[in-house]
Amino acid sequence: MTGQRHLSRRAFFPVVTGAIAYAFDAQAQGARPFAQWVESFRSRATERGVSDETYTRVMTNLQPDMSVFDAVNSQPEFNEKIWQYLNRRVSDWRIQTGKQKLKEHGALLARIEKDTGVSRLVLLALWGIESAYGDPDVQRSAMRPVFPSLAALAWGEPRRRKYWEQELINALRIVERRWSTPAEMRGSWAGAMGHTQWMPEVWLNVGMDYDGDGRVSPFGRPDDALASTAQYLLKRGKWRPGERWGYEVKAGGQRGGKASKSYAAWQKAGIARADGRAFPSGSARLWVPEPGGPGFLLGQNFNAVRSYNPSNNYALAIVHLADVINGGDLIAPKFPGGERPPTLAEIQEIQRRLTALGFDTKGADGRVGAGTMSAVSNYQRKIGLEPDGYAGVSLLARLRQGS
C-alpha cells in the first residue's frame, strides 16, 4: 500500500478482539443507511483504480453480512494451555496428511525452496494449519463470501474503519485485475482467503503468478499460494535462507526475555540443546513459555513465521509441525500436565462416545472442529470438570471409565 506501513498479515486481530465489546447498531453508531454508504464509497474506489463497471457489478444490491460484528466482539470460548494449543494443531491428522502432501507436492515445494530459500517443511506446516492443506470441506463449511463481510466492516466498524475500507478497495482491485470473481472470493469473516489465508492486501501486493496461468490466486492449485507465502516470509518476515528457526533447549531454570545473544553465549550461560547436539553460529533469544516446561532459543526465522500471525504459540505450532512431519519428537508431553496428542482413531472414539451420550460432535471423522469442542465442553461441564473443550487422552479415559 503506497505511503502506508505494511501491517503483518493479521496484525489487526489482537487489536480488534482485545477491544471492549460493543453492541452494533447502525443508527447508534451514526452510520448512514448501507445503500447510501455504498454509493458514497464509489468515488473512493474509483480513485484507487476500480472502474465504475467493476464497482457496480460487485457492490450494487450487496447486502452487508451483519454476523461479522458478533465475530469482531467474540472472545475465545476456550482457554487453552500451550500443550493443548500445540496438540490441537500438531494433530495426528495434520502430521499424517502433511507427510502425504509432502510426497504429492514435493517437486513444487522443492522448487519454491530453491527459488526463495524458505524451508519447504515450514511452508507445508503453515499450509496445514491455515487451511488443513486446502481441504475443500473447510472451504465449504468455514468460509463465507468476503465482499458482504468487508463491506459491512468498512461501513459500520468504527474502531478500524480505515483498515477495512482499504481492504475492501484491495478486494475490488483484485476483481478489477480479473484475478478472481466475487463468487470465488470466499474466506474468513475478516476476509482472509485461500490455501494460506491471504488478506486482500497480501494478495494484491505480495502475490505472484507462480504457475504461469496469467493470474495470481490463493485458490485452486497451491502453487501461487505457497510461493507467495514464501515471498511474504522472505520479504516481510526477513527469512534467512539456510538457518533453522531455533531449538528446544534445557533452560536450567532461566526465565528468558527479549534479549538476543549468540548461541555461544547461551551455551556459556548453561543453556543446552534438548537433543544434546552443538549449537551453530548465530544468535537467538530465550523463551520459556511455562515454568518447569521446555525452553526454546528463537532465531530470526521464528520471527519470520511469527510475522504471519503475531503469536509465539502460533509460530511454535508451525515450526513444530514442520519438525514432526520431518521425524522430530513431540514437545507437548514435556509441559507440566501435558499429554501426547490423541491419534486419529482415538479422536473418532471420543466423538462416537460423546454423541452416544447425547453430546453431538457433528460427525466422527477424527478431526476436532467447533462441534467436537462444544460437545466436549458440555460433557465436561455436566460431570464437573473445567470446560476447556479439549478432546485428549485423559478425556477418552474418563469416557471409557464412564461406560
Q: How far is CA 371 from CA 141, 362, 402, in A?
A: 12, 6, 21
Domain assignment present for residue 101? The answer is: no
Select from 192, 211, 227 the last residue of a domain.
192
pLDDT at residue 256 greater than cutoff 90: no
pLDDT at residue 3 greater than cutoff 50: no
Domain assignment present for residue 120? The answer is: no
Task: Clarify whether residues 174 and 303 are in a common domain.
Answer: no
Task: Clarify whether residues 35 and 176 are in a common domain.
Answer: yes
HEC states along the chain? CCCCCCCCCCCHHHHHHHCCCCCCCCCCCCCCCHHHHHHHHHHHHHHCCCCHHHHHHHHCCCCCCCCHHHHHHCCCCCCCCHHHHHHHHCCHHHHHHHHHHHHHCHHHHHHHHHHHCCCHHHHHHHHHHHHCCCCHHHHHHHCEEHHHHHHHHHHHCCCCHHHHHHHHHHHHHHHHCCCCCCCCCEECCCCCECCCCECHHHHHHCCCCCCCCCCCCCCCCCHHHHHHHHHHHHHCCCCCCCCCCEEEEECCCCCEEEEEEEHHHHHHCCCEECCCCCCCCCEEEEECCCCCCCEEEECHHHHHHHCCCCCHHHHHHHHHHHHHHCCCCCCHHHCCCCCCCCCHHHHHHHHHHHHHCCCCCCCCCCCCCHHHHHHHHHHHHHCCCCCCCCCCHHHHHHHHHHC
Q: What would the mean pLDDT of 370-379 be, rounded to a whole number?
A: 94
For position 78, what pLDDT does the model report?
55
CATH of the domain at 35: 1.10.8.350
pLDDT at residue 25 greater than cutoff 60: no
Each residue's pLDDT tens digit, 176-220: 999 999 999 999 999 999 999 999 999 999 999 999 999 999 999
Task: Clarify whether residues 319 and 381 are in a common domain.
Answer: no
More confident of the two residues 15 and 201: 201
Q: In the numeric block, which cell numbers belong to residue 240?
A: 534467512
Domain assignment present for residue 234? The answer is: no
Q: In the numeric block, which cell numbers belong to residue 12?
A: 489487526
Domain assignment present for residue 360? The answer is: yes
For position 5, what pLDDT does the model report?
36
Select from 291, 313, 334 the last residue of a domain.
334
CATH of the domain at 367: 1.10.101
Task: Clarify whether residues 329 and 362 are in a common domain.
Answer: no
Domain assignment present for residue 167? The answer is: yes
Task: Clarify whether residues 169 and 41 are in a common domain.
Answer: yes
For position 70, what pLDDT does the model report?
87
pLDDT band at residue 92 using 50, 70 and 90 as cut-offs: very high
Strands 186-187 and 144-145: antiparallel
Task: Clarify whether residues 322 and 177 are in a common domain.
Answer: no
| Stated pTM of the model | 0.90
Domain assignment present for residue 321? The answer is: yes
Domain assignment present for residue 199? The answer is: no
For position 369, what pLDDT does the model report?
87
pLDDT at residue 288 greater than cutoff 80: yes
Each residue's pLDDT tens digit, 58-90: 999 999 999 999 888 764 445 789 999 999 999
Task: Clarify whether residues 298 and 357 are in a common domain.
Answer: no
Q: Provide the residue range defining the domain that includes 397.
A: 344-402
Task: Clarify whether residues 261 and 171 are in a common domain.
Answer: no
Domain assignment present for residue 136? The answer is: no
% of the chain at pLDDT higher than 70: 91
Domain count, the chain: 3
User: How far is the C-alpha of 336 from the C-alpha of 329, rounded, in Å?
Assistant: 17
Select from 334, 356, 371 the last residue of a domain.
334
More confident of the two residues 349 and 27: 349
pLDDT band at residue 361 using 50, 70 and 90 as cut-offs: very high
Q: What would the mean pLDDT of 378-397 be, rounded to a whole number?
A: 95
pLDDT at residue 21 greater than cutoff 50: no
Q: What would the mean pLDDT of 148-160 be, rounded to a whole number?
A: 94
Task: Clarify whether residues 291 and 377 are in a common domain.
Answer: no
For position 9, what pLDDT does the model report?
59
pLDDT at residue 12 greater than cutoff 90: no
Task: Clarify whether residues 319 and 366 are in a common domain.
Answer: no
pLDDT band at residue 139 using 50, 70 and 90 as cut-offs: confident
pLDDT at residue 15 greater than cutoff 80: no
Place of cell 462416545: 353
Cβ pair 164, 152 in contact under 8 A: no
Cβ pair 133, 98 in contact under 8 A: yes
Mean model confidence pLDDT for the chain: 91
User: How far is the C-alpha of 123 from the C-alpha of 57, rounded, in Å?
Assistant: 36
82 HSE (CA, 13 A, CB side): 22
Task: Clarify whether residues 312 and 277 are in a common domain.
Answer: yes
Task: Clarify whether residues 250 and 330 are in a common domain.
Answer: yes
